[in-house]
Structure 1
Amino acid sequence: MKKLTKWFFTSILALGLLSACGSDETDGSSTTDGDQGGSGSSDEVVTLNMFQFKVEIADQLLEMLQEFHEEHPNIRVQLETVGGGADYSAALKAKFASGEQPDIFNNGGFTELGLWKEHLADLSDEPWVEHLLPIGAVPMTDTDGKLYGMPVNLEGYGFIYNKDLFAEAGITEEPTTYSELLAAVQKLEENDITAFSAGYAEWWVIGQHLLNIPFAEQDDPAAFIDALSEGTETMANNQKFIDFQRLVDLEIEYGNSNPLTTDYNSQVTYFATGETAIIQQGNWIENMIYELNPEMNMGILPISLDDNGDARLPIGVPNNWAVNKNSPHIEEAKLLLDWMVSSETGQRYMTEEFAFIPAFDHIEPTGLGALGEVILEYSSDDQTLPWNWFRWPDGANQDFAAIIQEYVAGQIDYDTVLERMDSTWQNLK
């Protein structure tokens, strides 16, 4: 399995998140021994402020931090989670603008690394780095060769589907092409089953994850993105982006009512309770689904734009833990990050409680659920697509989402969608 994990990480070179983004604030009392964490006197209490976006693991993360506190009683960790439907990036900027800078926070790498580099501590010499393979593939490695963040985990997404509802509709084979998907959703409709759980109220669902597909299916996604910025390529004249229209139309035609007002929690609830058969999300929703429906029998399908048979899943590093270089408790923050991936307790939480696929060769990917297992299978077969939104101009993903929402609302036609997305790219590049 260690060999597989190494291969898995190597196979996703240059990948960049977001998993899901409500807001939740918790105090995970977690503090440290001064001589262990560098805080000086053993009676000194240090408080770390941790600001993160993964609402799916907020409760489990708090529990983990409480166990950290038991081992390091002089370090207290104040945990704040902004996720679900909230804009984590805007919330983080507001934190820094108000002077409430967190000690540990998330950073996606690539473009986002450049935007925040002045605030990031160099983590190149941390003990966990030797277990991260390969360093050159990590989104937080800058052109100076230094590492500015620790990957949270590895994730994949696609069309998660309810196997029991598929069977009820007589669908016996997994659809891996657009035409096969169309035939499947038509069968679902014939059996009075709503196909898609469409959460188009969330900018990141449509303007980031879904829109990544036509980028990822380019022959060379990074080169295409560079060409967009140079003005030698456009989305309006690219076949992948032209084909993207029918994918959006399919979700809307065969999806839940009121998709533009369906937020993340509603989208997941519709799917988990069996009201819909398919949801565009990733393995980060697995715990949420099992909490709502412990008997859920599910799998995950690729999101295909055409019928070329090249079925692949987008798999990557969703985000990274970064340390504020101006924090008065840098050593304690570094200690916590190392403990999260090096201690037996931290590793147990990562694999068993968070159901994460580790980005480290010394953590066995045990305890994965059905979705995680499928993602590993696609990876072992080299059927992966890159995550590209961390390479987009800052703010473009939310603008893209607003444009797609206008199209779904019938306010603009699809030609206008592509023209405006091209214009957005040029304005923000």
Structure 2
Amino acid sequence: MKRNVLLSFTLLLAFVLVLSGCGGNNNESGSGNSKESSGSAAKGETKTIKIFQFKVEIAEALNRLKTDYEASHPGIKLDIQTVGGGSDYGAALKAKFASGEEPDIFNVGGQSDLDTWIDNVEDLSNEKWASDVIDVAKEPLTRDGKLYGQPMNIEGYGFIYNKDLFAKAGITEVPTTLSGLEDAAKKLQAAGITPFVNGYQELWVLGNHLLNVAFAHQQDPAGFVKGLNDGTASIADNEVFSNWVKLFDLTLKYSNKNPLTTDYNTEMAMFAGGEAAITQQGNWTQTMIDGVNPNLNLGIMPMPISDDSKENDTIYVGVPNYWVVNKNSPVKAEAKEFLNWLATTPEGQKYITEDFKFIPAFKNITTTSDVLGDLGSSVLEYSQQGKTLGWYFNNYPDGAFNEFGSQMQAYIAGNTDAAGLLKNLQQTWDNLKAK
């Protein structure tokens, strides 16, 4: 079965979460392969590390980290800027470089992003934390045997659902088929509960995460991507994509009003406020939801595209992003020290697990379900059971997800039909793929 391609990930993730945390108390700093500057500024000198990152969910926690890090590293200042949520991080990052205001540390998403930034990023293969990265998290940022990024974390997404609202509507089992999902939506509606809140103003919700469902359910997802690039595969006449449109339609049929003008923050505020029972997101939203209502009883459930319950009883798990170091940074040694502190010290690891509520992508960092919260625990449970599929949007041609998202918005608006949508997605891939 195609989910077996992630078996190594599942085993490694389970391994991560039962390890005792050996190696996590190493407090040395700096690069693991040289005697570069320790990263602490010379006496009387202040150095600033400019960090440009996209995860709005951890922005508040990063401000606390900034205070702690600066207190323990005299002469070092962190200038942290967050651009994400409803903003185009990739475009903003390119603008930073074009203006000459290059960050010292920034985020890269995966294979296609590495293609874009390979000339700007430092080889981090010999940093102390590199040997502890789980194998599945290394591959997307490895090129010619060199590791260019530190994985932020492991994340999973599907449909987040409010268990108490499900119970109120008389739903006793989590749906794992498309017809079962519609039955649940009907029960929610009958109980006066809006089934879905859809943040379809956001291109990434559509063009990355929702569209990935169709890629992940291919018999050979990587082979399908290769086929799109060499012209031997097609979105337009693919049965899985046709089934995927039925899921898309179902979310629209039982949606909140005006999904095209519902942004990420509104989506999460509505869901956390109990205004809808289901939303398409992942465990990264735990801190946002807790900020509104920390007492919600939550879970993550599948996004089924057919009535094959076994085939659809999965969620989507991967590495969302990587920290990379600008190889031309004037504070490159200090930037490396910061990443070493984050991954190898008890203080940094506490931020990863407890403050960010991340599932760590390192063998030497442990966490527990009570720290992760409901959503992280749900991702962990699916992963340990081998019920995961991958993330393939990092294999899209550069800039494609924006185009895909826009075309999906046009479909929502009624400007094209299902056949037209799939044809447009195919045309976008053909136009943007590397020639």
Residue of structure 1 in register with 2:336 after alignment: 334
1:37-93 Cα shifts (integer Å, max 9, x gaps) = 346632221111000000001010111121111111111110000011000000000
1:109 is displaced (CA, Å) by 1.8
* Distance in 1, Cα, partners of 2:324 & 2:165: 42
* Distance in 1, Cα, partners of 2:137 & 2:246: 37
Q: What amino acid sits opposite 2:258 in the alignment?
A: N
Paired residue secondary structure (1:415):
helix
Q: Is the 8 A contact 1:201 1:261 kept in 2?
A: yes
Match status 1:418 vs 2:422 = yes
| Cα distance change of structure 1 residues 383 and 204 upon mapping to structure 2, 3 Å threshold | same
Match status 1:127 vs 2:132 = no
Corresponding residue pairs, total:
405
| Cα distance change of structure 1 residues 341 and 47 upon mapping to structure 2, 3 Å threshold | same
- Correspondent of 1:365 among 354, 364, 367: 367
Q: Is the 8 A contact 1:315 1:386 kept in 2?
A: yes
1:262 is displaced (CA, Å) by 0.4
Residue of structure 2 in register with 1:195 after alignment: 195
Q: Is the 8 A contact 1:103 1:327 kept in 2?
A: yes
Match status 1:112 vs 2:117 = no
Q: Is the 8 A contact 1:52 1:80 kept in 2?
A: yes
Residue of structure 2 in register with 1:232 after alignment: 232
Paired residue secondary structure (1:127):
coil
* Distance in 2, Cα, partners of 1:9 & 1:369: 17
Match status 1:406 vs 2:407 = no
1:6 is displaced (CA, Å) by 6.2
Which structure has the higher relative contact order (CA within 8 Å, separation 6+)?
Answer: 2
Alignment of 1:30-429 (within 5 A): 37-38=38-39, 41-134=42-135, 137-142=138-143, 144-309=144-309, 310=311, 311-366=313-368, 367-429=371-433
Paired residue secondary structure (2:71):
helix
Q: Is the 8 A contact 2:404 2:425 kept in 1?
A: yes
362-371 vs 87-96, greater mean Cα deviation: 362-371
| Cα distance change of structure 1 residues 201 and 244 upon mapping to structure 2, 3 Å threshold | same
Q: What amino acid sits opposite 2:80 in the alignment?
A: L
* Distance in 2, Cα, partners of 1:249 & 1:139: 32
Q: What amino acid sits opposite 2:351 in the alignment?
A: Y
* Distance in 2, Cα, partners of 1:41 & 1:132: 31
* Distance in 2, Cα, partners of 1:203 & 1:306: 24
Paired residue secondary structure (1:138):
helix
| Cα distance change of structure 1 residues 387 and 265 upon mapping to structure 2, 3 Å threshold | same
1:246 is displaced (CA, Å) by 1.3
- Correspondent of 2:12 among 3, 7, 20: 7
Paired residue secondary structure (2:79):
strand
Give the unaligned 5+ runs of structure 2. Answer: 1-7, 17-29
1:149-202 Cα shifts (integer Å, max 9, x gaps) = 000000000000001110010001111111111110011111111000111100
* Distance in 1, Cα, partners of 2:418 & 2:62: 42
Identity %: 49
Q: Is the 8 A contact 1:175 1:184 kept in 2?
A: yes
* Distance in 2, Cα, partners of 1:319 & 1:187: 37
| Cα distance change of structure 1 residues 5 and 62 upon mapping to structure 2, 3 Å threshold | farther
1:414 is displaced (CA, Å) by 1.1
* Distance in 2, Cα, partners of 1:325 & 1:9: 34
Residue of structure 2 in register with 1:21 after alignment: none
Paired residue secondary structure (1:368):
helix
* Distance in 2, Cα, partners of 1:204 & 1:355: 22
Q: Is the 8 A contact 1:10 1:134 kept in 2?
A: no
Q: What amino acid sits opposite 2:54 in the alignment?
A: F
Paired residue secondary structure (1:269):
helix
TM-score w.r.t. structure 1 length? 0.91
Q: What amino acid sits opposite 1:167 in the alignment?
A: A
* Distance in 1, Cα, partners of 2:36 & 2:67: 20
Paired residue secondary structure (2:192):
coil
| Cα distance change of structure 1 residues 387 and 75 upon mapping to structure 2, 3 Å threshold | same
1:253 is displaced (CA, Å) by 1.1
1:276 is displaced (CA, Å) by 0.4
Q: What amino acid sits opposite 2:324 in the alignment?
A: A
Paired residue secondary structure (2:141):
coil
Paired residue secondary structure (2:78):
strand
| Cα distance change of structure 1 residues 9 and 53 upon mapping to structure 2, 3 Å threshold | farther
Q: Is the 8 A contact 1:340 1:347 kept in 2?
A: yes
Q: Is the 8 A contact 2:198 2:279 kept in 1?
A: yes
1:9 is displaced (CA, Å) by 7.4
* Distance in 2, Cα, partners of 1:336 & 1:235: 43
1:207 is displaced (CA, Å) by 0.9
Q: What amino acid sits opposite 1:47 in the alignment?
A: T
Give the unaligned 5+ runs of structure 1. Answer: 12-31
Paired residue secondary structure (2:146):
coil
Residue of structure 2 in register with 1:23 after alignment: none
* Distance in 1, Cα, partners of 2:339 & 2:222: 30
* Distance in 1, Cα, partners of 2:395 & 2:281: 21
1:35 is displaced (CA, Å) by 9.1
TM-score w.r.t. structure 2 length? 0.90
1:301 is displaced (CA, Å) by 0.3
